[in-house]
Amino acid sequence: MAKKSWHISRRRMLRGLGVSMSLPLLDAMQPTSALGATGTRSPKRMACLFMPNGVLPAPWTPKVGPLRELPKTLSPLQKVRNQVLVLSELRNKNSLHGEGHHVKTAGLLTGYAVKKGGDKAIHNSISIDQLAARYVGKNTLLPSMELGCEGKRTGLDMGFSRIYGSHISWKDANTPMLKETNPRSAFDRMFRSSASRKSRANADNAGQSEKTDEQSLLDSVLADAKSLRSKLGGADQRKIDEYLEAVRSVEKRMQKHTKKIAPSKGSKFDIRKITPPKDRPSNHQEHVRLLLDMIVLGFWSDTTRVSTFMFGNAVSGINMSFIDGVKGGHHQISHHNRDKEKVRQYQLINQWHVAQLAYMLEKMNVIEDGDGRSLLDNSMILFASGIRDGNRHDPNNLPILLCGKGGGTLKPGRHIQYAKHTPLCNLHLALLRRLGIPAKRFGDSSGPLKGLS
Amino acid sequence: MHFKSIKILTLICAVLTLGSGLLTSGTITIADSPKTPNASQVYVQSTKHLIQKYCHACHGPKKQKGSLNLSLYTSPQAVQKHRKTFTKVIRQLNEREMPPPNKPTPTDKERAAMIAALQGVLRDIDCSETKDPGRVTIRRLNRTEYRNTIRDLVGVRFDPTKGFPSDGDGGGGSFDNNADGLFLPPILMEKYLDAATMILDKAIITPPIQKRIDPEKLPAHLAQGKARKDHTFLNSTGRISWNFHFPKTGVYTFEIRAWGERRGPTPPKIELRLGKTLVRSTPVYAPAKKPGVYKFRRRVNKGSYRLTLNFTNGTKEKLPSLSVDYIKIIGTPAPINAQAKVSHKAIFTAAPAATVPARKAAENVIANFARRAFRRPVTPTELKNLMSLYDRAAQRGDPFELAVKLALKRILISPFFLFRIEADQPAKTAYRISDYELASRLSYFLWSSMPDQVLFDLAASKKLSNPEIMAQQVKRMLADLRSIAIARNFGGQWLGYRSLGITRRPDPKRFPMFTLKLRDAMKMESTLFVHHVLTKNRPILEFIDADYTFLNKTLASHYQITNVNSETFERVSLPNRSRGGILGMASILTLTSYPLRTSPVLRGKWVLEELLGTPPPPPPADAGDLPPDDRQMDGLTFRRRLEQHRKDAKCASCHNRMDPLGFGLENFDAIGRWRNEQAGKIIDTSGVLPNGERFSGPQELKKILLKQKETFARNLAEKLLSYALGRQLEYYDECAIREIIKGLKKDQYRSTSLILAIARSYPFGYRRNHRPEDED
């Protein structure tokens, strides 16, 4: 049943668009028959999805307690509502000041009050996904995967570098993780780049002891960079450090997998059944869905266990007129000024974002992960905006959904209302702990968020 | 008069509605002419007291919140000395962060006066004392530069950067060649590695590999059996194994020449294994008199493998024996295209011959390539390191071209190729950059690519830094087709048309005629126009108004201009002056509109910010917004609604500056088509500037803007210098800007004099070593 409705909705979507396109994951995404639990637990995965420009509060907020009737904006989640936690009254205190968007975007997963200034002076802190990648990313081809619909922007906006507003994922204080915006490139990176091919082909070369050409190339340029570094100062050194770091990470990936990478035992993942997605999605909805598909694929194939996704950058002006009844750009409409017409359109835009989340959750819910559970059961999908109501730039009581069962560590299907101004970082800490990371504090956390399990 | 000093006025736009006499006499002139002595006087006479009144309670002699004591700075000189502090003060005043709302706050007039005076004081620097070329962080080639450099280095015509992460589009005073915004995440390193492979595969013709293995020549532990003169004889189960490196992924043919001797019904059987994987097995029917050649084909991933030929059924009596003559491994030839023939020839500057040992030839090829890729001479150590990769491949038997290719690949992922690195010199003060570094600065400025052979030769003979030779070269480079890069990248980011249709797109339902074809035509018009003005020594004022543009049939019909019948762009004289200049271009008019309607506000802001370099301050957080559509609502035209909006005092001050400029362009719709009516009403294109000056329509608007030529020229000079240097400008660059503008004015604002002045400027030709204060 689930299978059938999934097919229909996808086809209907395509017909609605009036375009012909390849169905990238159609064959692969069929639910597999239930498999007996194997006893071994599949790994936990975490994805953080960022929606720009906040939500209209009233149609977002369900009754506290078990999720039965969903308010309008959350209604697309109906089928998977028992996989959803709605969390209220969480606040990102360190993003209170500065300006309306960039601070609240860059600080969402870092819990850090980013430093004012231009591209040269960017200063943030490590984000939870990157912290997670340092721990759980060791075991996968890609430690993490950063995706988004809009590319990087630079230059100053309201006194803050736009680099802030285009990144939620931060490797360290000065290094945002660049997003992949092209679904095809994301796919190739997982399954077709020389690094990934290498590791997947290694089974054939077993017994080969000497270094590959790539490894000796990388060794050789590392030597160059190191000697160069010693001759440079300040900012120059940091640039070469970035280079060194990048080379090492590619090298590590090539060395790491002497055995063939495979999804966990029992998984029905088979790359041969998957058609790569197309390069240029013809519209925003297709773009979003193809990128979300990449996260699902990455998790399913165990190519990565950590991912972030940005529907748009801060202050995103993506034209939302493709939604029935909406006319105009996202940010423009989000400043609704309580104008009736705009409020109506703003709600529709919010609901559309939730529907895309539902699209992803429904897929993950029917994919069998090898240990008898679904992929969604083993995942934690955070869906969040950096502000409450787009009209007000307010980082109190953020709109937060936490989906999936986190490998049995979450008890979804509820709306939990916390005490006013509970730190968002408590949630971050709780997520990190669930991934087995022994963090004591994160940002302004006062302890891991309670009541999730 | 007001308009003339727009630079400062927009910063302090709150003041404008008040039409204050107090300000106009003193502060406003300061901004326009940086040397005006009045800034300091104003600071001493009034600003200081305002600061005392509003700031000292928290940042004064009694209390020093944030360790800031503003009472210490009694003289303008003290303000200049503490530039960083006061830059922050100005920013916080401008953004209304200080004083905090719960404390006494200055009136808008006073706030504006403080900002203007402090700005003036900071700008009023003494160029005979201030001499700092600044320091450009080493920067990797951005996507465009990488693509162009590969094109000129290797000669391949395809886009190797497809799939590279975006380097973003400049904005807010920054370009995509600014090192501070160019990161190198692991994902990009992977792409560089893949691209290097792809590029060299396309550029170099490698003969298919052919390797013959004679088992009798292999050491005994590898080839079991009896080695005969020209073959190996196996009479019981045995194997022949050897290591082999497959230089690239592809289909290989394995040829085995063998024969067997049957002593019963069963023929001998052999199998070939690649590592542990079975390639194929086959019975050998051929007798000794007529040996057979057995061929297998298989796709093999690049890498080293242990290959094994097993004789599987020779154990028992009456079972056959087997003889193997040779095993051949033959690669599949890659298809050769015409392009590769050219690029291959250019890269292989030497070839092995009777008198030239292969290694010597390889060294020649590799050194030549490295010198061009690193854009400087190569050191012996570097060459040695590169040769070690050649040796690695050559020693295991890779063909010559393949072995060279490995070293070239190493060059393409080296930091010396991927980054533009300028070397520190042992000096405490500023020094002239080397001629090679100068060649790169020039080529990346004008071509977004590497220097060509002429520049390299001049650098090698140290002649390039000679001012006359450099002037010749700049002119030559501008005349070269590669100079289109400056129009695409500088022009495209400054004016924004590079991102047309990407970040800003008209609504496809309302404007179905905005096709890719039309969009590309719009971009092309702007690119060709900017290229023409910048490289053909036109006056830069033609950006504001010109009597010609570049059109093809598609765009001409969009403009309702007849007599352009080809899709090839041509220079077209305009029948009237409503179109000429960038403000009449569909690209800009579309960029400054919302998906569903025009926006006089956006257009006005665009003129102030991008054209004149005088951006208005950000709107207050609770500013409202107008409807996304411009159809009539509540019986009001869009213009009327906007006018209502401006009645709000907190909005008026800035909108009085922005909106009239935008009204002047209302004859152009949201995709730049001319219109006289909207929603059945004649469009009102009149505007009144805050100084009372009235105008109507684009022609009169442009005349007014032309009066601002110095402000415009300064803005263009600042933007272009920032692009040329690849960094944001600092206060000390003011001196270079003054020089550049002086020269421009003398030469009737001709573009070549602007570009030459930048190429000759102090920050362009000099650098200095790192200092601790650069860290901020």
CATH number for the domain harbouring residue B257: 2.60.120.260
Give the tens place of pLDDT for each residue, A276-325. 787 777 789 989 999 999 999 899 888 899 999 999 998 888 889 899 99
Predicted confidence (pLDDT) at residue A33 exceeds the cutoff of 50: no
The DSSP output letter for B769 is -
Closest CA to B359 of B327, B321, B404: B404
Scan for tokens 């004081």, then name that residue: B121
Q: Is the pLDDT of residue A157 over 70?
A: yes
Q: A228 contacts in B (CB within 8 Å)?
A: 415-416, 421
Query: What topology does CATH give the domain A2-186+265-434?
Result: Alkaline Phosphatase, subunit A (3.40.720)
Contact B172 A162 (CB under 8 A): yes
Q: Let me know if residue B78 belongs to a domain.
A: yes
Average pLDDT, chain A: 82
Q: What is the pLDDT of residue B629?
A: 57
d(CA A258, CA A90): 44
Mean pLDDT of B359-374: 97
Residues of B in contact with A121 (CB under 8 A): 776
Would you call B663 exposed, middle or buried from its count of C-beta atoms within 10 A (0-12, 13-18, 19+)?
buried
Residues of B in Cβ contact (< 8 Å) with A214:
193
B636 inside domain: yes
Q: Is residue B751 part of a domain?
A: no
On whether both B531 and B640 belong to a single domain, the answer is no
pLDDT at A338 over 90: no
The DSSP 8-state label assigned to residue B582 in this structure reads G
In contact, B455 and B473? CB cutoff 8 Å: yes
- Output the 3-class SS for B125-142: CCCCCCCCCCCCCCEECC
What angle, 0 to 180 degrees and rounded to 10, lies between the N-to-C axes of helices A234-256 and A194-201? Answer: 30
Element (DSSP H or E) covering residue B122: helix B108-123
Residues B632 and B550 in one domain: no
Same domain, B617 and B575: no
- A62-74 pLDDT, tens digit per residue, is 999 999 999 999 9
> Looking at the complex, does the CB of residue A245 fall below 8 Å from at least one CB of chain B?
yes
Region of B427 on the Ramachandran plot (φ > 0 left; ψ -120 to 50 alpha; else beta): beta
Beta strands in B389-433 (DSSP E): 419-420, 431-432
**Nearest C-alpha in A relative to B505:** A319
Q: Which sequence spans correspond to the domains of chain A? A: 2-186+265-434
Q: pLDDT digits over B155-214, tens only?
A: 888 888 887 877 766 555 578 888 877 888 888 898 899 899 889 988 998 888 888 888
**How many angstroms away from the CA of A440 is the closest CA of chain B?**
28
Taking only the tens place, the pLDDT of each residue in A419-428 is: 999 999 999 9
pLDDT, mean over chain B: 85
Q: Pick from B589, B609, B640: which residue ends a domain?
A: B589
pLDDT at site B6: 37
Quote the minimal CA–CA distance from A83 to chain B in Å.
Answer: 33
Q: What is the pLDDT of residue B37?
A: 45
Do B507 and B605 fall into the same domain? no
Residues of B in contact with A217 (CB under 8 A): 193, 389, 406, 409-410, 413
Asked if the structure places residue B462 within a domain, the reply is no
Nearest CA in chain A to B307: A205
B635: left (phi over 0), alpha (psi -120 to 50) or beta: left
Give B312-338 pLDDT, tens digit per residue: 876 666 667 888 999 999 988 877 778
For residue range B506-531, list pLDDT tens digits in order: 888 889 999 999 999 999 999 999 99
B599 and B688, same domain (yes or no):
yes
Residue B765 predicted with pLDDT over 60: yes
Residue with tokens 């890719």: B516
Q: What is the pLDDT of residues B595-653, one digit of tens each?
A: 888 889 889 999 998 999 887 766 665 555 555 555 555 556 677 777 776 666 667 77
Residue B315: which domain range?
A: 210-331
Select the more confidently predicted residue: B241 or B479: B479
pLDDT digits (tens, 9 = 90+) for B266-320: 788 889 999 888 888 898 888 888 999 999 999 998 878 889 988 887 666 666 7
Q: How far apart are CA B368 and CA B377, in angstroms?
A: 9
Name the token pair of A331.
């940010």
Structurally, chain B folds into a number of domains equal to 4
Reply yes or no on whether the pLDDT at B594 is more than 80.
yes
User: How do residues A210-269 score in pLDDT, each as one tens digit?
Assistant: 567 888 888 888 888 888 888 887 778 888 888 988 888 887 766 654 444 455 666 677
What are B208's two structure tokens?
């298919």
**Sequential DSSP letters for A181-198:** --HHHHHHHHHTSHHHHH
Q: Is residue B747 part of a domain?
A: no
More confident residue, A393 or A167: A167
Q: Which residue has the higher pLDDT, A111 or A187?
A: A111
- Report CA-CA distances (Å) from A386 to A105, A108, A129, B142, B295: 5, 6, 16, 30, 64
Helices (H) then strands (E): counts for chain A: 12, 12
**Touching B: A residues 110-139, CB under 8 Å:** 118-122
**Lowest mean pLDDT, pick from A404-408, A428-432, B2-6, B83-87:** B2-6
Least confident of A165-179, B459-473, B474-488, B527-541: A165-179
Average pLDDT (A341-361) is 95
pLDDT of res. B516: 92
DSSP-based three-state secondary structure for B10: helix
pLDDT at A207 over 60: no
Q: Which residues of B touch A152 (CB under 8 A)?
A: 165-168, 181
For every residue of B655-693, DSSP letters joined together read HHHHHHHHHTTTTB-TTS-B-SEETTEE---EEE-TTS-
A216 touching chain B per CB within 8 A: yes
Whether residue B220 is predicted with pLDDT greater than 80 in this model: the reply is no
Q: A14 in helix, strand or coil?
A: helix
**What distance in Å separates the CA atoms of residue B436 and residue B450, rounded to the nearest whole number?**
11
Using one digit for the tens of pLDDT, what is the confidence trace for B113-162?
888 888 888 888 888 877 899 888 888 999 999 999 999 999 888 888 88
Answer whether the bond into residue B539 is a cis peptide, omega within 30°: no
As a whole-number percent, the residues of chain B with pLDDT over 70 amount to 89
Instruction: Say whether pLDDT at B495 is over 50.
Output: yes
**Does the pLDDT value for residue B2 go beyond 50?**
no
Residue A449 · residue A411 · CB < 8 Å: no
Nearest to B138 among A232, A246, A317 (CB): A232
Going by pLDDT thresholds of 50, 70 and 90, the confidence category of residue B10 is very low
Q: Report yes or no on B434 lying in a domain.
A: no
Using 50, 70 and 90 to split pLDDT, how confident is the model at B9? very low
Same domain, B549 and B533: yes
Quick check: A32 contacting B, CB < 8 Å?
no
Q: What ipTM was assigned to the predicted interfaces of this complex? A: 0.77
Instruction: Please say whether the beta carbons of B729 and B722 come within 8 A.
Output: yes
How far does A154 lie from chain B, in Å, by closest CA?
6
The reply to whether B419 falls in a domain is: no
Residue B490 pLDDT: 96
Query: B90 with B34, same domain?
Result: yes
Cross-chain residue pair A205–B275, CB shorter than 8 Å: yes
Within-domain flag for B537: yes
Q: Which pLDDT belongs to residue B776?
A: 53
- The predicted pLDDT at position A232 comes to 82
Note the pLDDT of residue B67.
83
Give the whole-number percent of chain B exceeding pLDDT 90: 45
Mutate to test the interface with B, among A53, A162, A166, A239 (most CBs of B within 10 A): A239
- Put simply, the answer to whether B138 touches A236 (Cβ < 8 Å) is yes
Q: What is the reported pLDDT for B209?
A: 82
Residue B507 has a pLDDT of 85
